[in-house]
Structure 1
Amino acid sequence: MSTTTITKATPWSLFRIEQLNEMNWVPRKRHVTAIFRERTLLKIVEGTTPKPVATDLDNPTADEKKQRERWEELDGKAQIQIELTLSNSQMVHIAGAKTAAEMWTQLKQVKERGGKLGILLLCRRLYRTIADDATDIAEHVTELGRIQEELVILGGLISDEDFLLLIISSLPESWDNFTSAYLGASSNAPTISSHEFISLILEENHRRLEKTGDGSAAMYGQAKEGDRGGRSDRVECYNCHKKGHIAVNCWSKGGGKEGKGPRRAKKKERANKAEDAENDFVETAYAAKINSSSLYSWLVDSGTTSHICNDCTVFIELRAANVPVEGVGNAPLQALGHGTVLLDCEVSGKVTTHRLLDVLFAPICAHNLVSIIRLDEAGLEAKFSHGKVQFVRRTDGRVMAMGNKTGRLYPLAARARK
């Protein structure tokens, strides 16, 4: 029986990092780049040290042969390092690459959605990340930092002062007294960096949690009724572009509460529209079990012919496209792209992952929508009974997804992977 000795020369020795999957490119890129630097392979991977070419291709000198062999040895080590840190599902992204530089370039092309669209999607995500009194503040500021790092990778720079103000504006009202002390009373410019401020936030959050004895939001006070973001006065509606509410609560045309404002005496009945909510409290309470905000829940919809998602961060791959969307609201929406989303659906305590293909990205859509028509084409039958919906596979009768009726909506017991 043979044995393998792991030495310092072994590419994976001394380092233990998570393999690349659909969701961890940014931290993994930093980790692997550090390994390349430690092993003096970074120039090989970045392509700045090209393969040596002999002056006379038919008759290379001994020194030229030695240089080529040395380069091939380093390139081989770099390829091994890349391959061993990829999960099985990610190996397809380096198919056809013959050098480490080609592998690295292909990975970056897939994982770093470049161009203005990629920057736009991350900016939307950054400005939509708002905490309320039930939010884990430590996770919240970490997520903001992660998004900023992704923006830097794509070339979308944001100044430290702007990022600091964005962090402050994303915190709930219960933090106002704390944040105002660090804004600087004599001028409009903050007096500390964003990194220093994040450190202070984490320290204060730890102190508050210790004071309460747990992570509950009781000491901070509950958010006002109807205020899902914690700081509704700072939130801009992506439907009417007014502040004080989000699109799901918007009374204007195309909003989730279209026709339900105080100026309208008559409520409009809209069948087969997922944004027709009967009761704010019930809808919010159920959505909190899914993802803390109805904006990110997945609702069953019979009016649209495509799956629709309003959150760019859940796409495992996204292609830019201008696609008109009909069947949602009274006016057509415009999708900015389409791609693939992994949806984890819970049935009887077990989670099944579904790969939704050709999902439209429509950031101003009030909800994420699962198209009954698309699921029917995929061999699933929708069964509505006793306030529940089940999607049953026709071939064997297995329930693949389900949800409970909430008001006039049918949210799935599902969560998109990020």
Structure 2
Amino acid sequence: MTSGNSSLNVPTFPEASQLLGQDTWRAFKDRVELNVEVRGLKGYLDGSIPKPTSAMYIYTAQTSSLPDSQFPSPSEWTQRERMVASIIYLNCTDPIGIGIERANTSSKTWTYLLKKYESRDEQRIHIADTTLREHKFNPDTTSMEDHEKKMRNLLRSLHNLGGTCNDHQFRLIVIASMPDTWKDYILNVPGIFSSEAFTYLHRLYLDKVGRTNGGEDDYVKKQVAALFAKHLATQAASSSTPTPKRERPICTNPPCPTKVGHTIDRCWAKGGGAEGKAPKSWKDKYSMKASAIDSTSPIDVYVGATYSPKNTDGSLMPF
């Protein structure tokens, strides 16, 4: 005897539809019910197909029963029931943390989940509804695309908690979330659905952002042009004005062999302000000249030239 014609492939839900908690319960529930129904196994999920016993199942079927049969064989029932239990258990992110026991029947597990997540929490619903209605769009920090995603996620959270908000109400909430500076543009938003409202708001956002960016670009271009013109004017003025010639200082110390380039305060020669501080190279170069200058003062030269004996041609006679 065959064990039935139900598929043994357990579906894996997308991550966003796997049961993680209250936020994903609605998506998880819809997928479980659809996958069970398409396989004809809903009676195992709600417990309407009881497990057959020996007293109930008194004959051996020659062919396998249909998946939705109320009188499956014990082996068929076990296989189909485990299929439904696997769909639930394997699509829970943390079944142990949620409180699901692997050995429980699918109907018992499903009843537990319905009781856990279907009970309305009025306080949480109120918080989710308030969060949705108070969320505002800031075009300076958020794009319209991100705002739409945020609003739809908040709506989904409200629905997952059991709250109600139809599309007409959501459309009005979306329009009210626009900034006050857009008030004149959203007085008559076309359409009756939230998708149509978002289409209009997307166009409005792109139009306003485009204008803003265009104005900023023009302003930046004007600033750059002004700075560049100022730079060119400054450069032209500096090139046309002759640089004044710098006068080099002259040393007034008589014994100094190098008069140009310093003053007497910084002179290394005898009588200068920096006497004795000259480097060795300077001393080696100018020592002979300095000694000659030091041996005969200007007064001695003058006196000798005046009173020394002279030849007939006027030259000084040697001593």
For this structure pair, what is the TM-score category when the shorter chain's length is used for normalisation? 0.3 to 0.5
Greater percentage in helix: 2
TM-score normalised to the size of structure 2? 0.48
Greater percentage in strand: 1
TM-score normalised to the size of structure 1? 0.38
- Answer with 1 or 2: which has the greater Rg: 2
